[in-house]
Structure 1
Amino acid sequence: MIPTLMRRHKGRIIILLLVLAAFLVSPAFAGTRYFEGSPNLTAYVSGANQFAPGSSIQIPVVIKNTGINTYYEVASNIVDRADVPTTAKFVTVAMGAGNAPVVIKTDPQMIGDIASQDQQTATFSATVNADAAGGTYTLPLNITYQQFSHVDQYGMDTFQYYYVPMNVTLTVPLVIKSEVIPEVISATSDNLVAGADGYVNLTIKNIGSFDGTKATVQIVQNDDSPVSPVDSNVYIGDFPAGSTVSCQYKVAVADTAQNKTYPVDVVVNYQNDEGDMVPSQSQTVGIDVGNKVNFAIQISPIEMSPGSKHTIQIEYQNTGDTMVYSAQARISVAAPFTSSSDVAYLGDLAPGQTAVATYQISVASDATLKEYGLDSEIRYNNAIGDTYVSDPMKVTIDVQNLTGLEGIISNPVYLSLIAAVIIGIIYAIIHTRKKH
């Protein structure tokens, strides 16, 4: 029965045996031995690769292994190796600055193994120099790794692998944008003091590599600086690389400012190659500010009696750090005082200089006996012709009933009576002489 069945299905049985034999000798059940091949590493910057001068940047570098195994053997008596010659083992990547105007801040990085047709990314932090010229630069990329060499087999399951150290230096491009970069060559301020307006003079150079057009130089208040612009923009037109311009700005200084240097930011707005108006990187410059204009008064104690008139003299001193021009002093009188001359011209006063003002003051006859305080102030011009008024200064007058000769002299009623008596005596003497 069985031989009969075998003869009937002889063809099918032969085919089945051939298939089984093919499976028994198939490479799927065999190992691979590689005779040659090595890693082939390439590198490029991932994403945007254009950076501005003065910026802090991240440079993502992709390292790819394109090595291919071209000569190998597959056999049933070969055990697969754990590593192959085309794998880069224990890869370390270090980036240098080369000739690029950048500072690389990241230390060498270990990125592990890179098998054939695989890739890894290493990101490096860097800073572009503030005065970097635009252009394309190359950054050296030093890559060290271990490459599989060969393996020794001891028995059926013991292997010893051997590796060789490898080192390769690649380069990646870095593009720095061409920009206008302002540098303040000089900054001066003429008689700029707290609580007043004044002018700031700037000389600015384009140290960038781009020729700006339709350029405007702008000053901006720096955070909480007491120096703020009144006129903030100066149009300069073309601003070629390497050129220098001078600009003047009117600024205001807060009353709280002290005798010190305060920051002001400078920005150039210009038209780029695409026709867009763009701002340059900001530059900060120091502006010298003097103390607020102040005055002090010197005056002897003033005592008056009700109904009297007194000529007083007040010495005013410029105690500030700057010259004042066309100064006028004024004393403010109120009841029970009156004055026929309450304004006095002092002229120009340099720092530390003094001037004397004279006033005629009268006190009402019904004035209360006490000490009074009158305000005095100075109206003046600064160096640019703006008018200011000083803080008020106090003039103290003590109204009391004066006795003795001082009381008689200071009282106009007594003075009138004395004058009448003197005139009468003179008249009597003259009349008597005429009779004789």
Structure 2
Amino acid sequence: MKNYTTCAVLLLTAVLCVMPVLGQEKYLGGSPRVTAYIAGTNDFFPGEDATIMVEIRNSGTEAVMFTDQGTLPQTDLPTTAKLVTVGLSSGGAPINITSGPLALGDIPSPGVTTVSFPAKITSDADMGSYTLPLAVQYEYLSNSLANQPTSDVVQSVYTPVNVTIPLTVMIQPVVHIHVLDVQATDLAVGTEGYVNLTIENTGYQDGTKATVKILQHGESAIIPTDNSVYVGDFPQNGIVTCLYKVSVSNEAQQQTYPVDVEVIYTNSDGNIVTSAIDTVGIPVAGKLTFAVVSPPEAITPGSDAVVNITYKNTGAIMAHDAEARLILYGPLSGPDSLAYLGDLPPGGTVNARYAISAAENTAPGTYTLNTEIRYRDDLDNSKVSDIFTANVTVAPKPPASPFVMVLEIAGIGIIAVIAGYALIRAKRKQ
């Protein structure tokens, strides 16, 4: 019995040794078939920040499948698109693609992946259909492993593929604005004023129930106070004129500052749409300044005098209802330090008169006094200029003339005689 069992085991072992090794499934022929199309909407508008969604599909099929071919597995299928990279460009369309090529990895078949390309539609884009080229790069297993013998070495050959797939987008008609003219009235640093804009609809759609707005551009020194003007119908090639009230920051400089202009309107589909922004420059004059242009007038110690001071508007805008103030100090004083100047245009001059008294002990010399001007801007806001200076000269008293000296001596003598006479009479009465 023991010998019988041993023989059975040996026979089974021999059978197993001569059994064929199970083969591997392998594919002959076939390649990836990569296509692409825009997923979602392909309608865009001028000035829009857009996201273009693209779907990449691989629908390649194998030609023949072999079984029991060799002992080594096939690492890749010939239909797999490997190391896929895609890049979208404008192709001359009024669209700026803001991302570079994107790596997607491997796409098997069947397989689908979606990629997003951020884009900016130019504000002056014309309506119509545009083609965007999508560049696709990948590689695939191109040699057949069907006849690969049982071996420890597999020879794999990959073929690179570069293909360009056209994608179609549509630029839809919209109201597009262009500022034709800018007029700024008496607009200076630290003041309020008016900005008058002439605006044209250069787009391909008529807007209705339209409102034209101006907005502060970033940290611009021009800040709209009244920023909306309702214009109603705003047809293609139509022109409107809009007046806005704005203020200028006290920290501004004499230069041109930007503002943004946009239109909110109802389109032909009844939807409320906001147009792309048109940015324009608004000129701002420097802060209104004044100067004293008259020579200093003189006053003598111990006397009162009326001095004339001539003021000049050295700024670029009108100073309405101007009033000057002279700041007196020390030995100089006066009953009234204010003088009304009226409207003072740029470059204009006006004379102010001040009554000034100099104390008896005032030292001769030139005294520098502070002065300032309060005025109103174009929107009747009260403003005060920076302090500037005006000079007044205190002259020494002139020496007395000989005739005056004789009169003074005679006067003293007469007083002495009268005093002596009065004293003698007083003694006689005693």
Check whether TM > 0.5.
yes
1:247 Cα shift? 2.0
Q: For residues 171-222 of structure 1, what are the alpha-carbon distances to aligned partners after superposition, in whole Å with 9 as ceiling and x for unaligned?
A: 3343555443333333232332223332222222334444322111112233
Correspondence 1:213-252 to 2 at 5 A: 213-252=208-247
Report 1:234-313 matches (<5 A).
234-272=229-267, 275-297=270-292, 298-306=294-302, 308-313=303-308
Q: Structure 1 pair 42/190, CA: closer, same or farther in 2 (3 Å)?
A: same
1:319-358 paired onto structure 2 within 5 Å: 319-324=314-319, 337-338=334-335, 343=339, 348-351=344-347, 353-358=348-353
Given candidates 96, 100, 108, the residue that maps to 1:103 is: 96
Change (3 A) 1:43 1:253: same
User: Which deviates more from structure 2 when the two are superposed, residues 284-293 or residues 187-196?
Assistant: 187-196
For residue 113 of structure 1, the aligned residue among 106, 129, 140 is 106
Tell me what 1:72 maps to.
64
Could you say which residue in structure 2 is the equivalent of 1:3?
A: none
8 Å Cα contact 2:206/2:268 also seen in 1? no
Checking the alignment, whether the CA contact within 8 Å between 2:96 and 2:120 is kept in structure 1 is yes
In structure 2, what is the Cα distance between the partners aligned to 1:310 and 1:210? 74
Equivalence map 1:72-151=2 (5 Å): 72-76=64-68, 81-98=74-91, 100-134=93-127, 137-147=130-140, 148-151=142-145
Q: Separation in 1 of the partners of 2:321 and 2:373?
A: 10
The answer to whether residue 199 in structure 2 is matched with residue 190 in structure 1 is no
Q: Hey, what does 2:7 align to over in structure 1?
A: none
Alpha-carbon contact 1:302-1:396 (below 8 Å) kept: no
Q: For the Cα contact (< 8 Å) 1:50–1:177, is it kept in 2? A: yes
Amino acid at match of 1:190: T
Quick check: 1:337–1:362 contact (8 Å CA) kept in 2? yes
Change (3 A) 1:239 1:300: same
Letter in 1 for 2:214: I
Q: Which runs of 5+ in 2 are unaligned?
A: 1-18, 412-430
Task: Give, as a single letter, the amino acid of the residue that structure 2 aligns with 1:187.
Answer: V
Question: d(CA) in 2 for partners of 1:119 and 1:98?
Answer: 25
In 1, the alpha carbon distance for the partners of 2:378 and 2:56 equals: 66
Q: Give, in angstroms, the shift of residue 315 of structure 1.
A: 1.7
Matches of 1:228 and 1:85, distance apart in 2: 64
| Deviation for aligned residue 1:388 | 5.5
Shift of residue 124 of structure 1?
3.4
CA deviation vs aligned residue, 1:233-255 (integer Å, no higher than 9, x gap): 22222223443332222222234
Going from structure 1 to structure 2, the CA distance change for 1:347 and 1:112 (only over 3 Å counts) comes to: closer
* Residues 328 and 347, structure 1, Cα contact 8 Å, conserved in 2: no
Compared CA separation, residues 402 and 40, structure 1 to 2 (3 A)? same
Aligned to 2:313: 318
1:83-119 CA-partner distances (Å, limit 9, x unpaired): 4443334434332323532133444444333222123
- The answer to whether the 8 A contact 1:94-1:108 is kept is yes
1:431 matched residue in structure 2: none
Is residue 260–residue 289 contact of structure 1 (8 Å, CA) maintained in 2? Answer: yes
1:118-155 CA-to-partner distances (Å, cap 9, x unmatched) read: 23344434332232245554322233444424347464
Instruction: Report the residue type matching 1:103 in the other structure.
Output: N
Contact between 2:186 and 2:193, CA under 8 Å: does it hold in 1?
yes
Q: Which amino acid counterpart does residue 119 of structure 1 have in structure 2?
A: V
Question: Secondary structure of the residue that 1:230 maps to in structure 2?
Answer: strand
TM-score by length of structure 2 reads 0.70
Aligned to 2:195: 200
> Structure 1 residue aligned with 2:37, among 44, 47, 50?
44
1:211 corresponds to which of 206, 215, 234: 206
Identify the residue that residue 427 of structure 2 maps to in structure 1.
Answer: none
Q: What RMSD, in angstroms, separates the aligned Cα atoms of the two structures? A: 4.2
Shift of 1:63: 1.5
Q: How far off is 1:33 after superposition?
A: 5.1
Sequence identity, in percent? Answer: 37
Q: Structure 1 residues 357 and 277 mapped into 2: Cα distance closer, same or farther (>3 Å)?
A: same
For 2:258 and 2:273, how far apart are their aligned partners in 1?
23
Give the Cα–Cα distance (whole angstroms) in 1 for the partners of residues 369 and 158 of structure 2. 99
User: Normalised by the size of structure 1, how large is the TM-score?
Assistant: 0.69
Alpha carbons of 1:254 and 1:34: their partners in 2 closer, same or farther (altered >3 Å)? closer
Q: Distance in 2 between matches of 1:102 and 1:260?
A: 33
| Alpha-carbon distance in structure 1 between the residues aligned to 2:82 and 2:385 | 80
Please, which runs of 5 or more residues in structure 1 have no aligned partner?
Answer: 1-23, 418-436
1: CA distance, partners of 2:237 / 2:155:
65
Distance in 1 between residues matched to 2:86 and 2:342, nearest whole Å: 78
Q: 2:249 corresponds to which letter in structure 1?
A: A
Q: What CA distance in whole angstroms lies between the structure 2 residues aligned with 1:293 and 1:77?
A: 94
Q: Hey, what's the Cα distance between the residues in 2 that align with 1:37 and 1:342?
A: 99
Q: Distance in 2 between matches of 1:389 and 1:107?
A: 56
